Amino acid sequence: MIESAKNFLDQWFTKSERLLDQLEKDKDHFANLNNQITKELDHLKDTRELLLKEIDYLLVSRNEMIDSFRAKLILRFENILKRLRRVEKSIGSKEVQNKI
């Protein structure tokens, strides 16, 4: 009976030691995974910041292009209006000459 109890305790301690060893390995493994996840998250945050900066740059560039295009259109329409006024004046003066 004592021998049986001794064997039982030996087996129980052996299993307990294996379980503790496995828990230590799992703890180390999860710590490594946690470090990898932290690095990956930091990388994703950096990538997000870079993308936001790129979007800001593109928006500013787009707005500058729109402003430049608007200024060119305004100049062209001003030139067209000047030409129209000249044409109107020349048509008006020709009509006056024809009436005379």
Quote the pLDDT of residue 32: 97
Q: Taking 60 as the threshold, does the pLDDT of residue 97 lie above it?
A: yes
pLDDT (tens digit per residue) in 55-96: 999 999 999 999 999 999 999 999 999 999 998 888 877 665
CA-CA-CA-CA dihedral for 57, 58, 59, 64, to nearest 10: 90
Q: Taking 60 as the threshold, does the pLDDT of residue 100 lie above it?
A: no
